[in-house]
Structure 1
Amino acid sequence: MKIERFEEILAWQKAKELTKNIYKLLAPIKDYGFKDQIQRAAVSVMNNVAEGFERRSDKEFKHFLFVAKGSCGEVRSMLILAKELDYIEKNTCADLILETERISKMLSNFIKMLD
Structure 2
Amino acid sequence: MHRFKDLEIWKLSRKFCSEIYIITANFPESEKFGLTNQLRRASVSVPSNMAEGCSRSSNKDFSRFLEIAIGSIYEIETQLLIAFDLGYIDQIKLDELCLTIDRITKMTSKFRSTLK
TM-score, length-normalised on structure 1? 0.94
Matches within 5 A, 1:28-107: 28-29=26-27, 30=29, 31-32=31-32, 33-107=34-108
Correspondence for 1:15 among 13, 16, 37: 13
SS at match of 2:102: helix
For the 8 Å contact 2:47–2:69, the answer to whether it is kept is yes
Runs of 4+ in 1 over 4 A off after TM superposition: none
Equivalent in the alignment of 2:112: 111
Whole-angstrom CA distance in 1 between matches of 2:108 and 2:49: 11
Report sequence identity in percent: 36
Whole-angstrom CA distance in 2 between matches of 1:74 and 1:4: 26
Figure out how many residues of one structure are paired with residues of the other and give that number: 113
Which consecutive residues of structure 2, in runs of 5 or more, have no partner in the other structure?
none
For 2:105, the aligned partner's letter is S
Whole-angstrom CA distance in 2 between matches of 1:114 and 1:28: 39
For 2:109, the aligned partner's letter is S
* Deviation per residue, 1:21-65 (Å, 9 max, x gap): 010011122211110001111111110000001113211100000
Whole-angstrom CA distance in 1 between matches of 2:95 and 2:48: 24
TM-score, length-normalised on structure 2? 0.93
